[in-house]
Amino acid sequence: MAYRIPHALSPAAEPLDLGAGSNEPEPRPGSGGTRRAAAPPRRTRVSGLHLTAGAVVEAGRLLWWTAYYTMRWGLDRVSRSGGPDPRLRLATLLRGYLLRMGPLYMKAGQVLGTQSGLLSAEAAEEFRSFFAGLPPMSEPALRRTVDRGLPVPVAEAFASFAWQPVAVGSVAQVHRGVLADGTDVAVKIVKSGVRQRLEASTRALGTFLAAVHALCPPLRPYDLPGHFAELRPLLVGQCDMRQEAARQNEVARNFRGHPFLHVPRTYDHLCTDDVLVMEYVDGVPGMDPGQAGHPGPDLARRLQDVFYSMVFFHGRFHVDPHPGNILFRPGGQIVLLDFGLVGTLSVDDKWNLSSFYYACIRGQWQTATERFVRTFVANPERLVPHHEEYAEKLAAILRHHFQVQTSRWSTMEFFDDATRLLHGYGARASTRFSLLSLSLLTGEGFVTQTDPDINLYDNARRFTDLFSPYMSEAVREKFEHEIGGLSPRSMAARRDAAGYLVAPTHLDRYGLPSAFPLVITKATGAHIHDLDGNEYVDLSCGYGPHILGYAHPGTSRAIQEAVTRGSVNALGNPAELRLAELIAEAFGTGTKVILGNSGTEAVQMALRMARAYTGRQRVAKFEGHYHGFSDQSLVSSLFRYSGDAQSPNPVANSAGMQRTVVDETLVLQYGDPASLDRIAAHAGTLACVILEPMPVTTAAFDRSFLQQLQEVCARENILVIYDEVITGFRVRYGGAQHLADVTPDLTCLGKIIGGGLPCGAVAGRPDVIDIARTTGDPYLDIDTRAFVGGTMSGNSVTAAAGAAVLAHLKSHPGIYDELQRKTEWLAQELTTHAATSAIPCNVAAAHSIFSITFDHATPLLIRDRLAGSNFKANLALSYYMRKHGIYVPELHTMMLSAAHTAEDLQHVSRAFAHSIEEMKDDGFFTTY
Ligand code: PMP
Given the CA of residue 543, which atom of ligand 1 is nearest to it?
Answer: 8
Q: Using only C-alpha atoms, what is the Rg of the chain? A: 32
Taking only the tens place, the pLDDT of each residue in 543-593 is 999 999 999 999 999 999 999 999 999 999 999 999 999 999 999 999 999
Dihedral (CA of 807, 808, 809, 813) sign: positive
Which residue(s) pair with 728 in the sheet? 732
627 CA → ligand 1 middle, Å: 5
Which residue(s) pair with 44 in the sheet? 51
CA distance 902 to 887: 17
Q: Please give the torsion angle defined by the CA atoms of residues 426, 432, 438 and 441, in that order, rounded to the nearest 10 degrees.
A: -90
377 CA → ligand 1 middle, Å: 38
Give the per-residue pLDDT at 24.
34
Residues of the chain with pLDDT under 50: 1-49
Please check whether residue 894 is in contact with residue 851, taking contact to mean a CB–CB distance below 8 angstroms. Answer: yes
853 CA → ligand 1 middle, Å: 21
User: 414 — phi, psi (to 5°)?
Assistant: -65, -50
628 CA → ligand 1 middle, Å: 5
Q: Which of 471, 423, 752, 769 is nearest to 599 (CA)?
A: 752
CA distance 604 to 18: 66
| Pairing, β 686-691 against β 719-723 | parallel
CA distance 302 to 308: 10
What 3-state class would DSSP assign to 829? helix
Q: 728 in ligand 1 pocket by Cβ < 6 Å?
A: no
What contacts 925, CB < 8 A, 6 or more positions away?
839, 840, 854, 870, 873, 919
Alpha helices in 79-193 (DSSP H): 86-101, 103-113, 121-128, 139-149, 154-157
Q: 627 in ligand 1 pocket by Cβ < 6 Å?
A: yes
75 CA → ligand 1 middle, Å: 77
Q: 543 in ligand 1 pocket by Cβ < 6 Å?
A: yes
Sheet order of strands, 333-336 included: 261-262, 333-336, 326-329, 284-285
Please check whether residue 881 is in contact with residue 916, taking contact to mean a CB–CB distance below 8 angstroms. Answer: no
Give the per-residue pLDDT at 756.
97
Which residue(s) pair with 529 in the sheet? 522, 535
Please check whether residue 109 is in contact with residue 98, taking contact to mean a CB–CB distance below 8 angstroms. Answer: yes
Taking only the tens place, the pLDDT of each residue in 846-870 is 999 999 988 877 777 888 876 666 7
What contacts 408, CB < 8 A, 6 or more positions away?
none
DSSP secondary structure letter of residue 643: B
Angle between the N-to-C axes of helices 365-376 and 347-361, in degrees from 0 to 180, rounded to the nearest 10: 160
Distances (CA, A) of 403 to 365, 398, 454, 457: 11, 8, 18, 10
Please check whether residue 691 is in contact with residue 675, taking contact to mean a CB–CB distance below 8 angstroms. Answer: no
Q: 724 in ligand 1 pocket by Cβ < 6 Å?
A: no
CA distance 374 to 378: 9
Residue ID of nearest Cα to ligand 1 atom 9:
628
Residue ID of nearest Cα to ligand 1 atom 12:
599
What 3-state class would DSSP assign to 764? strand
Q: How many residues does the chain have?
A: 928
Give the per-residue pLDDT at 26.
33
Q: Which of 32, 55, 249 is nearest to 154 (CA)?
A: 32
Give the per-residue pLDDT at 552.
98
